[in-house]
Every structure is written in structure tokens, then in C-alpha cells.
Amino acid sequence: MDRDDLIVNDSYSVNARHDESHGKQIRKKIYFVTILLSAITTVEVGLGIFIKQGTDFWPVVKWSFVIMTLIKAGYIVLVFMHLGDERKSLRYVVLLPYAIFILYLLFIGVTESSHLNDVWREFQP
Amino acid sequence: MAGEATKAIDKSLLWGGGRSPFSVSYGKMMMWFFLVSDALTFSGLLVAYGYARQAYLGAWPIGEQVFHALPGLTGNFPLIYVALMTFILIISSVTMVLAVEAGHRMDKKGVTKWLAYTIVGGIIFLGSQAWEWSHFIHGSAGYIITDTNAQYFLVEEVPHGKTAFDVEGFSLIANMGEENESIITGDKATSLFNDRINYVQGANMTINEYGPPQYGNFFFFITGFHGFHVFTGVLINIIVFIGVRKGIYEKRGHYEMVEKTGLYWHFIDLVWVFVFTFFYLI
């Protein structure tokens, strides 16, 4: 099993270096992610313009927006912010507390506001 | 101590405990922790926005119907402007990651170039946002409220300091968006306009022509808070750019400062991705 707690001088963030050939590889990945992010954004804008809210298709489009956004966010955090290259421990320290709080907050927000909406609908003249 | 370190690490890099948690420097780890707390703030704002919107009986305006203008052009271009802003921010995020990559190769020229592009991208984004705010605040033709609390939308705006008589063929739309929508013209329209109790045009903190007052408030607060982040991001980038030009990081032996501001800059892009989806698209 790979040990994740070892501190090797080369893996220390300040000493992270690479040469030109390795840099080429990294840049290739960056350009790939650029094209991907741009493509997803284009698709999102296209769907937003051509599918009107309230049509039969809309719920599918709405959820596809959410999924596409999460994919974009994942690529930005893991590749652009290099969180994917960090140690597992740092990844979890950053992502887990955030995920726990926000999932709970989302749950409260959606439950409460849906209930409020129901009540207001009931008492609408 | 077997397995603690396979290779001796430079003592000056270690923390007080004699080791380096997560194998990252103090500054970088604290940047991550700051970003987590900042992400919680933005998430709180976006959840509050979703809460208000969900509770509002479907009276919330739709992004593509509010944001459909381009500078210098008339006509209907839903979402195009905000899509351009998104592209600008994504591209400046890419140039930032290229600057970080150049830093890992100790390529001072590369860092200088890409960081400069990033700053330019950030400034263009700020300018775009200024225009969007201005457009949002000034609005379009607007609507009037009469003493019976009815709303009549104007077909053409009445410029500030002018009256309805100055607008040729002045007309109002009654029951906008409903089945019995109708157009009122002539004397009836001008007298309705003269007897109005309020003429709502554009947006301010208490009322706006697009939808519920909260809509304007959330727009100002969320995009404003994000814009403020972009502004500080540009400032920090400029400071680091000066450092790069002066060769401070070259002397220090690493370009980690570029990496840390890079984290902040990518975070701004990340927030915008969510604002774009939840404020403009959905």
C-alpha cells in the first residue's frame, strides 16, 4: 500500500518543479480542459436561449445545467487549482467540511422554501 | 521514525512541529482554508437566493428575459453578453494556470506574459460588469403604478424630465403577460400616466421593474460581492506581477506566490460558474 503521509522533498509544494517536456504534457491537459469548459458553456448558453422555461423539456434542461455546472466546477478545482495533485489528506480537509455544511444548508433551504411556497399558494386570493 | 521521511527536507521549510502537514507550505494551506470559508459565504448567498426564488410563487423573473442586451446594439440577444463575460473569466483562468505552470519551470518571461494576460482579462471582466450594472439600473421602458395598484407597462420610455405628451404615440400595456393583455393608447394612456403614483424604471434597492424587490437586491449583492472579489483579485495579481518583474520570486527560488494568487483567481472563476448557472441560466 502506498503511504500518503511521507514527506519527500520533491513532493513538497514549494519544490514542485518540472522540465520543459513535462510542462508540455501539463499544458496539453490545460488546453484540453479549456476546450471542455468552453464547450460546456456554449452548450449551456444554447440550451438557455432555445429551451424556454416552463416547456416540457425544461426540467431535464434545468437538471442538466446543474450537472454541467458541477462538471465544470470539478475540472476547475481538480485541474486548474491542482487539488487533484495534492495529497489525499488535503483534498479531504478542503472538500469534506464544505460538502457537509452545504448539503445540509441546501436541504434546509429547499425544504423550508417549498413549504413557504405551498402555504402562500394556499392563501393566495 | 521509520517512514517519516524518505529524504531530508530543508529545515527552513518545516513548521514548528518539525514536519509539514499535507506537504504544502503554510501560506498555501491557509489560502485553501480561506477559500473554503469564502466558498461557504458564496454558497450561503446562493442558497438564500434560491430560497427567496422558490418561495416567491413563480413571480421571479427569468434571466434570459432580463439580460438580453448588448452594448451599442438594439434587439434581443438573450444571455449573449453574460456568456461573453463567462468566456472572458474562463480564459483569464487559463492564462493564470499557464502562469503557474511557467513558474514551475522557473520561466520568468513566461510567468510575466501569462500573468499580464490574466490581469487584462480581469480588467475587461470588471468593465463588462460595470456596463451590465449600469444597464440593469437604468433599465428599459419600465412601468407605472396607479392608485388602484394596477401596473401598466410602457411601450416606449418617457425620458427623465419629460411628460407622456412628449412621446409620440404614447401607449401602455395593461395586464402584461396575462390572457387579457391589451394596449391602451391616446388620451386614456396619457391621463393614466399623469395620474400615476410611481414610475418604476430600472432597478434600485427598494424596487425594480423586473420582479420582486429581492430580485434586485440579490442581483446587486451576489454579483457585487463577486465583482469585489474580481477587483481584489486583479489588485493582488498586479502586486504579484510587480514582484515577478522585480525578480523577487526568482531570487526566492520558487514561484509559489503566483500559485497562491492563482488559487484565489481560479476560485473567482469557480464562483462565477455557479452564479452564471443559478442567476442567469435557471
Q: Please check whether residues A67 and A21 belong to one and the same domain.
A: yes
- Collapse the DSSP code of A122 into the 3-class scheme (helix H, G, I; strand E, B; otherwise coil) and give the result: helix
- B248-266: burial string, b at 16+ Cβ within 10 Å, e else: ebeeeebbbbbbbbbbbbb
pLDDT band at A31 (very low <50, low <70, confident <90, very high): very high
Question: What mean pLDDT, rounded, does chain A reach?
Answer: 87
Indicate yes or no: CB of A109 within 8 angstroms of CB of B48.
yes
Whether chain B has a CB inside 8 Å of the CB on A60: the answer is: no
The grid cell for B252 is: 526566492
Angle, CA B97 vertex, CA B96 and CA B99 arms, to 5° = 65
Question: What mean pLDDT, rounded, does chain B reach?
Answer: 87
User: Domain coordinates of chain B in residue numbers?
Assistant: 21-139+210-281, 143-200
Whether chain B has a CB inside 8 Å of the CB on A63: the answer is: no
pLDDT > 70: percent of chain B: 93
d(CA A76, CA A30): 10
Asked if A77 and A83 touch (Cβ cutoff 8 Å), the reply is yes
Chain A residue at shortest CA distance from B78: A49
Residues 6+ away with beta carbon under 8 Å from B46: B222, B274, B275, B278
Whether chain B has a CB inside 8 Å of the CB on A86: the answer is: yes
**pLDDT for residue B3:** 42
Q: What is the pLDDT of residues A34-70, one digit of tens each?
A: 999 999 999 999 998 888 888 888 899 999 999 999 9
Whether chain B has a CB inside 8 Å of the CB on A70: the answer is: no
Mean pLDDT per 10-residue interval, chain B, length 282 residues: 48 65 82 95 95 83 84 83 94 96 93 97 96 91 84 82 78 80 84 85 89 92 97 97 94 91 96 94 88
Q: Please check whether residues A63 and A101 belong to one and the same domain.
A: no
Residues 6+ away with beta carbon under 8 Å from B272: B85, B86, B89, B226
Q: Please check whether residues A97 and A116 belong to one and the same domain.
A: yes
Closest CA to B88 of B272, B282, B281: B272
What is the pTM (predicted TM-score) of this model? 0.88
**pLDDT for residue B2:** 39
Indicate yes or no: CB of B280 within 8 angstroms of CB of A48.
yes
Chain B residue at shortest CA distance from A92: B22
Phi-psi region of B209 (alpha: psi -120 to 50; beta: other; left: phi over 0): alpha
Q: What one-character DSSP code corresponds to residue B151?
A: E
Q: Please check whether residues A54 and A33 belong to one and the same domain.
A: yes
**pLDDT for residue A1:** 45
Which member of A17, A30, A86 has the closest CB to residue B98? A30
Q: What is the pLDDT of residues B220-259, one digit of tens each?
A: 999 999 999 999 999 999 999 999 999 999 998 889 999 9
Which member of A19, A49, A112 has the closest CB to residue B64? A49
Indicate yes or no: CB of A13 within 8 angstroms of CB of B25.
yes
Q: Please check whether residues A78 and A99 belong to one and the same domain.
A: no
Q: Please check whether residues A65 and A99 belong to one and the same domain.
A: no
Q: Please check whether residues A95 and A75 belong to one and the same domain.
A: no
d(CA B45, CA B47): 6
Q: Please check whether residues A77 and A28 belong to one and the same domain.
A: yes
Q: What is the mean pLDDT of residues A98-125?
A: 90
**pLDDT for residue B57:** 66
Residue A6 lies in domain: 1-86
- Number of compact structural domains in chain A: 2
Indicate yes or no: CB of A13 within 8 angstroms of CB of B52.
no
Q: Please check whether residues A81 and A94 belong to one and the same domain.
A: no
Domain B21-139+210-281: top CATH class: mainly alpha
Choice between B4 and A72, residue whose per-residue pLDDT is larger: A72
Amino acid, single-letter form, for residue B51: Y
Closest CA to B255 of B9, B27, B8, B16: B27
Q: B183 - beta bridge partners?
A: B173
Q: Please check whether residues A63 and A4 belong to one and the same domain.
A: yes
Q: Please check whether residues A98 and A112 belong to one and the same domain.
A: yes
d(CA A4, CA A93): 14
Q: Please check whether residues A59 and A115 belong to one and the same domain.
A: no
Grid-cell match 416540457, residue found: A56
